[in-house]
Chains A and B, each alone.
Chain A
Amino acid sequence: MTPLRWATLVAALLLAALAGVMLGTLRLAPLDVVRGALGQGAPIDVAVVRTLRLPRVVLAALVGAGLGAAGAALQGATRNGLAEPYLLGVSGGAAVGAVCAVALHAPAALVPIAGFAGALGAVVLTLVVARAAGGRGDARVVLMAGVVVGAFANAAIMVALANAQDNVVRGALWWMMGSVSDASWPQVRMAAVYVAIGIGVLLALARAIDVLALGEDTAAGLGIDVGRVSMIVYVAAALLAAGTVAAAGLVGFIGLLVPHLVRMAGARTHRVIIAAAALAGAALVVAADLVARTARPPAELPLGAVTAIIGVPFFLARLRRLT
Chain B
Amino acid sequence: MIAFSHVRVRYPRSRVPALDDVSLEAPRGTVTAVVGPNGSGKSTLVRALVGRVPLEAGAIAVDGAAAATLARSVLARRVAIVTQREEPAFPLSVREYVALGRYPHLGLWRAPAAADADAIASALERTGVAPYVDRAVTELSGGEWQRVRLARAVAQGGESLVLDEPTTFLDVGHEMAVFELLARLASDGQAVLLVSHQLNLVARFAHRLVLLHRGCVVAEGTPAEVMRGDVLERVYDWPLVVTRDPAVGAPALVPLRAPPRG
Contacts and interface: CB of A to CB of B under 8 A. Distances in A.
Nearest to B156: A222
B115 to A, nearest CB: 17
B100 A217 contact: no
Nearest to B105: A223
B260 to A, nearest CB: 43
A121 interface: no
A108 B90 CA distance: 43
Give the interface size bracket for A toward B. 20 to 34
Nearest to B87: A215
Contact of B89 (A79, A217, A220): A79
A104 to B, nearest CB: 43
Interface string A234-252: 0000000000000000000
Interface stretch (B1-9, B70-78, B238-246, B247-255): B70-78
Interface string B92-105: 11001000110110
Contacts of B76: 221-223
B52 interface: yes
B106 A222 contact: no
Contacts of A205: 108
Contacts of A204: 108-109
B200 to A, nearest CB: 27
Contact of B103 (A216, A222, A226): A222
Contacts of B52: 216-217, 220, 226
A215 B90 contact: no
Nearest to B162: A221
Contacts of B72: 220, 223-225
B108 A208 contact: yes
Contacts of B107: 207
Contacts of A214: 86, 88-89, 100
Contacts of B122: none
A216 B50 CA distance: 11
B81 interface: yes
Given A217-B47, A217-B52, A268-B93, A223 B73 contact: yes
Contact of B81 (A207, A221, A268): A221
A215 B156 contact: no
Contacts of A76: 90
Interface in A191-219: 204-205, 207-208, 210-211, 213-218
A249 to B, nearest CB: 30
Among A81, A222, A225, chain B packs the most CB atoms within 10 A around the CB of: A222
B247 to A, nearest CB: 35
Given A207-B108, A215-B83, A221 B89 contact: no
A222 B101 contact: yes
Given A134-B12, A218-B81, A223 B100 contact: no
B35 interface: no
Nearest to A224: B72
A269 B82 CA distance: 21
B50 A217 contact: yes
Contacts of A136: none
A268 B85 CA distance: 22
Nearest to A221: B81
23 contacts: A79-B90, A210-B92, A210-B100, A213-B89, A214-B86, A215-B83, A216-B52, A217-B47, A217-B50, A217-B52, A217-B81, A220-B51, A220-B81, A221-B50, A221-B80, A222-B100, A222-B101, A222-B103, A223-B71, A225-B72, A263-B90, A268-B90, A268-B91
Given A213-B90, A222-B76, A222-B156, 16 more contacts: A79-B90, A207-B103, A207-B108, A210-B100, A213-B89, A217-B50, A217-B52, A218-B81, A218-B83, A220-B50, A220-B51, A221-B76, A221-B162, A222-B103, A222-B104, A268-B92
Interface of B: 12, 46-47, 50-52, 71-77, 79-93, 96, 100-101, 103-104, 106-109, 156, 162
A-B CB proximity, top 8 nearest: A221-B81, A223-B76, A79-B89, A223-B73, A223-B104, A217-B83, A223-B72, A220-B50
